[in-house]
Amino acid sequence: MDLQQLLNSITPEIYKQLQKAIEIGKWSDGRLLTDQQRALCMQAIIAYDQRKPEHERTGYIETKKTECAPKAAEKPLKWQS
């Protein structure tokens, strides 16, 4: 199974289970997530979210224009590693 097939097999229910597992740090049966499992779950959620409209994605924050900083609100955030 390749990555695209795997992503196609994720249902909304599985997506919610992955989110919940990341939130509480364990699977629904009580087993703890390993660091590797947490990272893979996050990657799956991000990849699944790419199918959704931007405003429905996990972590989406609507940018607001204010009178104090109208130009700053128009620039996207840049992550540094």
Q: Which residue is listed with tokens 């795997």? A: 6
Our count of domains for the chain comes to 1
Domain that holds residue 17: 3-58
Torsion of CA 5, 10, 30, 21, to 10 degrees: 110
Q: Can you tell me the mean pLDDT for 6-25?
A: 92
Q: Of 76 and 72, which is predicted with more confidence? A: 76
3-class secondary structure, 61: coil
Alpha carbon 55 to chain centroid, angstroms = 12
In a domain, 20, yes or no: yes
Q: Which residues contact 21 (CB under 8 A, 6 or more apart)?
A: 27, 28, 33, 37, 38, 41
Write the pLDDT tens digit of every residue in 24-72: 999 999 999 999 999 999 999 888 888 888 888 877 888 877 666 555 5
In a domain, 40, yes or no: yes
- With beta carbons less than 8 A apart as the criterion, state whether 45 and 18 touch: yes
- pTM over cut 0.75: no
